Amino acid sequence: MSYADSMHTPTPAHARLFIVIMALLFTFIVPQHSAVAASATEPQGHRGILAPITSAPAGVVLTPEERTQLESGKHIERHVKRDEGGSGIAVQYIRATPEQIWATILSYHRYKSWVKNVVSCSIYRREGNAIFIDMQTSILGFRSQIFTKNTVQKAEGYMAWTLDYDRKSDVNDLVGYWRVQPVENQPGMTRLEHSNSISMRGVPGFLVNYMTRDALAEGTAWVKREAEKR
């Protein structure tokens, strides 16, 4: 490769710098796309676009190669990209009991110190087995706020969420789940699945990618880290 060619060939460092620059430009040139769009007093404007999780989700069917990867301590991911959003799922084996993993996931007051990009996370209402969460994140300077209804079904091994449609979030719609199940024939090992489907409006593509890719991998990673400490 010539010197001239190298000047026009992007590197990972160039790509990261470009993303940061674009995020900063987007934040300052288009300020209406910051968290001020969210509102605790206005409704979302619809009662759901994406199909919610209403029963225990089936576990991801693993290939022998994926099972080997999980047993080595790594995670696996699968993704689907759409024009205005996408979906993804991550799977991780964790050397902890389901009870320890649930205790970790439900410690919302610790998310700010445990979870990358979370700047605030609080419970604002409880109704039976439903927990309503106000979570604010900052990703490359782009602030967003979402209000979710999280329905905990420990006996069935999962927790599902949707937006709280009585409040206005910065995403158009969001559904997903945690699935927590013991690994067969491996005492003390638990399989964690983390899934998100998202519909976005007026936000940069890197935020969609984060919600359907990075957030999933990071989600299983921080739960593994903190649950195994227990």
Give the Cα separation of 130 and 150 in Å (integer).
5
CATH superfamily of 34-229: START domain (3.30.530.20)
Q: Say if residues 56 and 156 touch (Cβ distance below 8 Å).
A: yes
Regions of the chain with pLDDT less than 70: 1-36, 83, 202-214
**What distance in Å separates the CA atoms of residue 105 and residue 224, rounded to the nearest whole number?**
10
**Residue 91: closest CA among 30, 208, 180:** 180
* Residue 62 Cα to chain centre, angstroms: 21
pTM of this structure: 0.80
What the block records as the tokens of 72 is 């080595």
What are the domain boundaries of the chain? Answer: 34-229
CA-CA distance, 152 to 150, in Å (whole number)? 6
pLDDT tens-digit profile of 21-32?
A: 334 333 333 333
User: How large a percentage of the chain has pLDDT more than 90?
Assistant: 63
Q: What is the pLDDT of residues 108-146, one digit of tens each?
A: 999 999 998 899 999 999 999 999 999 999 987 888 899
Q: Going along the chain, which residue ranges are E strands? A: 76-82, 85-94, 118-127, 130-139, 142-153, 158-163, 173-182, 190-199
